[in-house]
Amino acid sequence: MRMDHYTLLQKIGIYLGIGLFLMFVLLPFLEMFRTSLSPMSHLFHAPYEIWNSEMSFQAYRDMWDKVPLLGRYIWNSIYIASMVTALSMIIITPAAYAYARLEFPLKALSLGAFLSINMFAGAVLLIPLYRLLNSLHLLNTYWAMIIPGIAFLIPTGIWLLKGYLEKIPRELEEAAYIDGASRVYTLRRVVLPLAVPGLIVVGTSVFIGAYAQQYLFAITFNQVKELQPLPAGLNQFIGYQSVEWNQMMAAALTGVLPVMAVFFFLQKYLVAGLTAGAVKE
């Protein structure tokens, strides 16, 4: 008998537990999908019916006419999150290297200051940010949704990436120094190539943050329809008289599909990556 052996009863218990857990996690999506298939007449119907004979993918066709900019909103979401991720990584990577490898005055203090940024969620600082963006004439542009997003993703990014860089053997850099390489050369040609797996994991988690949390900045700093990301754009399915729930759900599911598909393939590396970065040996 091995340590990982489960009795039949234990197996049933585990699957039952996983089933319950997944049901809680996936219930909203299942219900969104069911709603997207249902004609409005059946949605506004009591008593509640789980399935009806008129279910179809009609809403997935109609939604593009109801909200002509839908494709643009889906793109905006991905564009904003990608820009935030790219710029964040440019800022995070050198800083993480400094904290992982170098000794300098104010090191602990400045790292602590970075981490304390986590306490000031964007919502707390909205007022001056609004005025700042206003005076820079950046309100109602993509930048109004990109710039504030970056600042709040920097601290966690530095922390995660630092964990990775600390694992790269120091001897490789020292060998490069002794061979006469400059600091910048060593960073670019020795450290960065070795850090690629870590950069991917941190980049992915930065992207998740940027993609998941763009609603607040969008509704506060941007009034231009064409620039709205998906979560804010979905409001247009809410009419004066009624809400087109089936089309809104269809649009929401379609909109997150590209990103979900990518994550479905990346998740294995992400879990493995979190293990490597978050766990100290």
Partner 1 sequence: MSDQMVSDTASAPAVARRRGLSETWFAWLLIAPAVLFTAVIVAWPLLETVRLSFTDATINSESWVGLANYHELLGSAKFYVVVGRTFFWMALSVSLKLVVGLIGASLLAAAVPGRALFRALIMPPWVIPIAIGCIGWLWLYNGQFGFISGMGQRLGLLDGPFEFLAYKRSAFYSAIVTDVWVGTPMVSLFFLAAMQGVNRDLYEAAWVDGAGRWYRFRRITIPQIMPTIISMALLSAIWTFNSFDIIYILTQGGPRGGTTTMIIDAYKTAFGNYNLGEGATRAVAIVVLLGLFSLAYLNILNRVNRHYGVK
Among 168, 202, 245, 250, contact with partner 1 (rule: CB under 8 A): 245
Buried b (16+ CB within 10 A) or exposed e, 65-99: ebbebbebbbebbbbbbebbbebbbeebbebbbbb
Tokens of residue 91, six digits: 């800022």
Instruction: Indicate whether 188 belongs to the interface with partner 1 (CB under 8 A).
Output: no
User: Are the CB atoms for 102 and 162 separated by under 8 Å?
Assistant: no
- Contact pattern from residue 143 through residue 162 relative to partner 1, giving x for each residue in contact according to CB under 8 A and a dash for the rest: ----xx-xxx-xx--x----
Question: Which of the residues 207 through 226 are near partner 1 (CB under 8 A)?
Answer: 208, 211-216, 220
Question: Which of the residues 81 through 140 are near partner 1 (CB under 8 A)?
Answer: 90-92, 94-95, 97-99, 102-105, 107, 110, 114, 116-121, 123-129, 131-132
Instruction: Indicate whether 169 belongs to the interface with partner 1 (CB under 8 A).
Output: no
Shortest distance in whole angstroms from residue 271 CB to partner 1:
6
Shortest distance in whole angstroms from residue 68 CB to partner 1:
20
> Which residue, 203 or 255, has its beta carbon nearer to partner 1?
255
Shortest distance in whole angstroms from residue 194 CB to partner 1:
17
Alpha-carbon distance 254 to 32, whole Å?
Answer: 11
Among 8, 9, 24, 193, contact with partner 1 (rule: CB under 8 A): 24
- Number of alpha carbons in the 13 Å side-chain half-sphere of residue 25: 6
- List, in sequence order, the alpha helices (H) in 140-229: 142-165, 170-178, 183-186, 192-194, 196-212, 215-221
